[in-house]
């Protein structure tokens, strides 16, 4: 599956495509929102004090990507409010 990733100010601007896969036999892949968040932090070298949103709704860590997200969804990467 491919997803669009976008940061929101005050984070540095970023708009990127990201492919996600559950991995071989559902191992070592990007299966949960928490996996996705960790991958975004690592791949784009962004701060980890953030949360992810889809259509204005927060995505929670343990939820399955395959249950929530669809191809080409726009995931926003936002800093936690102060």
Select from 27, 26, 42 the least CA-distant residue to 77: 42
Phi-psi label, residue 39: left if phi above 0, alpha if psi -120 to 50, beta otherwise: alpha
Give the CATH number for residue 39.
3.10.20.90
Label residue 67 exposed, middle or buried (CB < 10 Å: 0-12, 13-18, 19+). Answer: exposed
β-bridge partners, 18 = 3
Q: Among positive and negative, which fits the CA dihedral 76, 28, 31, 23? A: positive
Residue-wise pLDDT tens digits, 55-70: 999 998 888 888 888 8
pLDDT at position 40 over 80: yes
Structural domain boundaries enclosing 9: 2-79
Residue-wise pLDDT tens digits, 41-58: 999 998 888 889 999 999
Local structure of 33: helix, strand or coil: helix
What is the pTM assigned to this prediction? 0.82
pLDDT at position 81 over 80: no
Q: What total of structural domains would you count in the chain?
A: 1
């Amino acid at each position: 599956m491919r997803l669009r990733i976008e940061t929101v100010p005050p984070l540095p601007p970023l708009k990127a495509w990201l492919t996600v896969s559950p991995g071989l036999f559902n191992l070592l892949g990007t299966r949960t929102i928490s996996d996705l968040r960790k991958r975004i932090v690592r791949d784009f070298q962004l701060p980890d004090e953030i949360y992810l949103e889809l259509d204005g709704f927060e995505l929670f860590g343990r939820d399955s990507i395959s249950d929530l997200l669809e191809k080409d969804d726009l995931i926003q990467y936002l800093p936690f409010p102060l």
